[in-house]
Amino acid sequence: MKTTDLHILGGGPAGLTTGYYAKKHSLNFTIFEAGEHAGGNCRTLKIKGADCRPCVSQSGDFRFDTGAHRFHDKDPQVTEEVKNLLGNDLLQVEAPSEIFFEGKFYRFPLLLSDLVEKLETKTLLKIAWENLYSSPKKQVENFEEFAINQYGKTLAERFLLNYSEKLWGQPPCNLSTAITGNRLKGLDLRSFLRSTVLGTPQNPKHLDGSFFYPRHGIGMISDKVCEFIGDKHIKLKHRVNRLIHKNEKIERIVLNDDVEIPVATVINTLPLTLSVRMLEPAAPPELCAVADKIKYRHLVLCVFCLNRDTFSSNASLYFPSEEFPFTRLYEPKNRSAEMAPKGQTAVVLELPCYSDDAVWNMSEAALQTEVWEALQCVKPLLPEEVIHYETYKLPFAYPVLEVDFEENVTRLVTYFKRFENLHLTGRSSLFRYLHLHDLFKAGREVVEQIANV
């Protein structure tokens, strides 16, 4: 075996993009994926029209992504790569997002004119005062302080702190500022208010509802990458159980608790906490204790296929209030018309949770009832409009970036660095808030590094 022979653990976007560049460099490689499909948490699932309640004419299938995805145009080289892969199937979408709070819809990102129209004068004055005259802290220690600094207490409490607590399952004072993943850049209301009221220059960066999206869902990107890679390089239903090491090298891996194979170079994309426990000989107990401290958030998706043309015009609708069990609703059809049969639509509700939360362990029927009741408060629907319901569980959806996560993650990642033939990449493996474009870039870099040695 040569050092350029790659064993890639995990067939999510991180594993697939590594395989994509390995193929481009004509390297030998195999991807081991535990599930029946490649694509990890970045797939598009299909509900056949014929499987829906047959009282309506069906003219196609419903498709939904494993959580509301869009392709971010952040790295020109990656965007070009994805454009080449998808051709005309990469659509430019214009769809705004909104926040639903106390019975009203607010534009997201927040817009001053929208707030003026919808909030009481007293509240507006409070927001203006907090944003224009309070002096922001020079150094913020956690997300709560960051949000208050950025927006003032009133706005932060209404729209951000409650939402973050629901999404991450932690009080915002326990969360690192890294949870913003730069998404709040350009959303600084303070600079916007200053520019409007005082005439000082405005922060030009402002997010809007314009983004790239594949015609048949985000999973098309993984599908095209798989097509390019070729089936023989992807071993589905091959769960990695153990990483056997000697002399600071991973020597063998164990698959499906059965087969042991020798390895040359290992690219590991599996969750960091699982990887620590797979080591044989075992990692030092203090390191396992560090692994116990870091958490991943899972996601339950509740999908209602509806016999109505549309539910809303939004890309995403956010729900910061506790009374709603979900944090976000998205309507796949508003990203691409081909995500639903003509005249019909689907809504997907996202419920973040930990594996020991009631939501993760609830029956499909109980979830359907709970979510349906909450949905009625957003927009009343008739029971007969629901032609199909489905629940989908997404493990390891988000690394939970608590205030001390960096120190813990660094300790684990540093430990793995001792294995000279092992590379970590991917969202759960590096415990970083990475997106698809980041993973393309990471895949390219790791392969170039190995190919050029």
Ligand X SMILES: Cc1cc2nc3c(=O)[nH]c(=O)nc-3n(C[C@H](O)[C@H](O)[C@H](O)COP(=O)(O)OP(=O)(O)OC[C@H]3O[C@@H](n4cnc5c(N)ncnc54)[C@H](O)[C@@H]3O)c2cc1C
Question: Rule CB under 6 A: which residues touch ligand X?
Answer: 9-15, 32-35, 40-42, 67-70, 72, 239-240, 269-270, 299, 394, 396-397, 426-428, 434-437, 439
Q: Which residue is nearest to ligand X (CB)?
A: 12
Taking the least distance from each CB to ligand X, the nearer of 7 and 388 is 7
Taking the C-alpha atoms of residue 318 and residue 323, their distance in angstroms, rounded to an integer, is 13
Taking the least distance from each CB to ligand X, the nearer of 336 and 428 is 428
Taking the least distance from each CB to ligand X, the nearer of 151 and 396 is 396
Question: Smallest distance from the beta carbon of 55 to ligand X, in angstroms?
Answer: 32
Taking the least distance from each CB to ligand X, the nearer of 138 and 232 is 232
Q: Which residue has the tokens 């493996």?
A: 429
Taking the least distance from each CB to ligand X, the nearer of 119 and 434 is 434
Taking the C-alpha atoms of residue 276 and residue 337, their distance in angstroms, rounded to an integer, is 43
Question: Smallest distance from the beta carbon of 86 to ligand X, in angstroms?
Answer: 14
Question: Smallest distance from the beta carbon of 197 to ligand X, in angstroms?
Answer: 34
Question: Smallest distance from the beta carbon of 8 to ligand X, in angstroms?
Answer: 10
List Cβ neighbours of 222 (8 Å cut-off, separation of 6 or more).
Answer: 13, 16, 38, 39, 40, 42, 43
Q: Which two tokens stand for residue 315?
A: 């890309």
Taking the least distance from each CB to ligand X, the nearer of 280 and 385 is 280
Residue 128 DSSP SS3: helix
Question: Smallest distance from the beta carbon of 80 to ligand X, in angstroms?
Answer: 16
Question: Smallest distance from the beta carbon of 276 to ligand X, in angstroms?
Answer: 13
Q: Which residue has the tokens 């209404």?
A: 158
Taking the least distance from each CB to ligand X, the nearer of 214 and 341 is 214
Taking the least distance from each CB to ligand X, the nearer of 8 and 450 is 8
Taking the least distance from each CB to ligand X, the nearer of 128 and 347 is 347
Question: Smallest distance from the beta carbon of 425 to ligand X, in angstroms?
Answer: 7
Residue 240 · residue 270 · CB < 8 Å: yes
Question: Smallest distance from the beta carbon of 39 to ligand X, in angstroms?
Answer: 7
Q: Which two tokens stand for residue 289?
A: 């204790």
Task: Give Dmax over CA atoms of the chain in angstroms.
Answer: 72
Question: Smallest distance from the beta carbon of 74 to ligand X, in angstroms?
Answer: 9
Go through the chain and tell me how many residues it has.
453
Taking the C-alpha atoms of residue 344 and residue 100, their distance in angstroms, rounded to an integer, is 23
Taking the C-alpha atoms of residue 261 and residue 233, their distance in angstroms, rounded to an integer, is 16
Taking the C-alpha atoms of residue 208 and residue 354, their distance in angstroms, rounded to an integer, is 31
Q: Which long-range contacts (CB under 8 A, 24 or more apart) does 20-24 make?
A: 20/225, 20/228, 20/229, 20/440, 20/443, 21/443, 21/444, 21/446, 21/447, 21/448, 22/447, 23/228, 23/229, 23/230, 23/233, 24/447
Residue from 146, 149, 143 nearest 130 by CA:
149
